[in-house]
């Protein structure tokens, strides 16, 4: 019994000393390391997330550059066979010819203005106003509409901005309709 008590006492003492020692060791040496490790792991995860986000953004930028390259090619193809002169010189004539080809012979095309297009280098946005007078040959509004529609179909860089047609114009020689057009054309010097 005495030996058993001594053994138990020794075991308890060793256990207590081991517990205190382990706790001390943990408090003074291991816990700071673990805290530092946890903080480092969190910071590392944050940095990695930022790196991943940056990688995705770089990929997007790369894709956008590729798209831009393709778009440049598309713009180039749009502007093929265009005159080397400024748009104010050839765009109204070109529009009038297109309308006359589709039955609107007496249309008046007025050059409005040309503004820079900062997003698209070396290009500008030109605005023109087309006025279609009433004439005997244009019986219906539908015909005028189809003719105007052919402008976009023929020249892809031209888009309809505003359109207004009136069938019943009381006065003779009045305007049947008017169309505002915008065209993205290469920037040329006057």
Partner 1 sequence: MALAKMKPSPNRSHQAMLLEYPSPSSPVAGEWLPSSDRLEKETVPPAPLVPAPPAPPPLATPKGEKEAGAKRVLLLEDDASFREIMKEFLTETGYAVREVKSGIEGIKEVIAGDFAVVLCDMQMPGLPGDLFYRAVERTRPELCERFIFMTGHRGNTPANDFIKAASGHALLKPFHLDKLLEAIGEMERQRHMRQEASRANGTPAGPAPGRQSPDSWTASARPPAAKAQDGVSAGAKRVLLLEDDASFREVIKEFLTETGYTVREAQSGMEGIQEVLAGEFAVVLCDMQMPGLAGDLFYRAVERARPQLCERFIFMTGHRGDARANDFIRAASGHALLKPFHLDKLLEAIGEMERQRNLAPGTFPQRGPAALRPVPKWVSSSDAQPVTANRNAPSEPPAAMATEQRPAENSSAGENHPRLRLWMNAATVLATVAVMALAYAWYRHVEDRSGAVSHELNEAQTLWTVASESLEKARAAGAPVAKFTERAGQVTNESTRRRWSSALQRIVDCTSAGIQLQDIRVRQVGDDGDAWSLRIAARCAGTRLDADTFRCKIQQELQTIFDGPVKTRFEEMEEVPGAAGEPARGATVAFTMVAAISTQPLRPRPMLREEME
- Binding stretches for partner 1 (CB under 8 A): 2-4, 6-7, 10, 14, 18, 21-22, 25, 29-30, 33-34, 36-37, 40-41, 43-44, 47-48, 50-51, 54-55, 57-58, 61, 64-65, 67-68, 71-72, 74-75, 78, 117-121, 140-142, 145-146, 148-153, 156-157, 159-168, 184
As a whole number of angstroms, the distance between CA 87 and CA 119 comes to 19
* Closest separation in Å from C-beta 127 to partner 1: 12
Rounded distance between C-alpha atoms, residue 58 and residue 77, angstroms: 28
Of residues 31 and 110, the one with the C-beta less far from partner 1: 31
Beta strands across the sheet bearing 108-116: 108-116, 123-133, 175-186
Q: Closer CB to partner 1, residue 106 or residue 150?
A: 150
Nearest approach in angstroms of CB 104 to partner 1 is: 13
Report the residue number, 110 or 161, with the smaller CB distance to partner 1.
Answer: 161
Q: How far is the CB of 68 from partner 1 (least distance, A)?
A: 5
Q: What DSSP state is assigned to residue 123? A: E
Q: How many other C-beta atoms lie within 10 A of the C-beta of residue 26?
A: 13
From residue 86, alpha-carbon distances to 83, 122, 129, 187, 189 in Å are 8, 12, 17, 7, 6
Q: How far is the CB of 85 from partner 1 (least distance, A)?
A: 20
Separation of alpha carbons 127 and 69, rounded Å: 26
CB of 83 to partner 1, least distance (A): 19
123-133 vs 175-186, strand pairing mode: antiparallel
């Amino acid at each position: 019994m005495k030996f058993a008590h001594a053994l138990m006492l020794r075991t308890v003492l060793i256990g207590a000393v081991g517990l205190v020692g382990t706790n001390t060791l943990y408090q003074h040496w291991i816990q700071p390391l673990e805290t530092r490790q946890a903080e480092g792991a969190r910071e590392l995860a944050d940095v990695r997330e930022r790196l991943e986000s940056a990688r995705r953004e770089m990929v997007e930028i790369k894709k956008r550059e590729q798209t831009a390259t393709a778009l440049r090619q598309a713009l180039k193809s749009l502007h093929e066979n265009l005159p080397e002169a400024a748009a104010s010189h050839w765009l109204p004539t070109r529009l009038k010819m297109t309308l006359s080809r589709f039955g609107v012979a007496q249309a008046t095309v007025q050059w409005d203005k040309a503004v820079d297009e900062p997003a698209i280098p070396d290009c500008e946005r030109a605005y023109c106003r087309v006025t279609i007078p009433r004439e005997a040959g244009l019986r219906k509004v539908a015909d005028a509409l189809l003719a105007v529609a052919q402008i976009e179909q023929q020249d892809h860089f031209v888009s309809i901005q505003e359109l207004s047609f009136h069938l019943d114009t009381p006065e003779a020689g009045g305007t049947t309709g008017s169309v505002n057009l915008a065209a993205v054309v290469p920037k040329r010097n006057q």
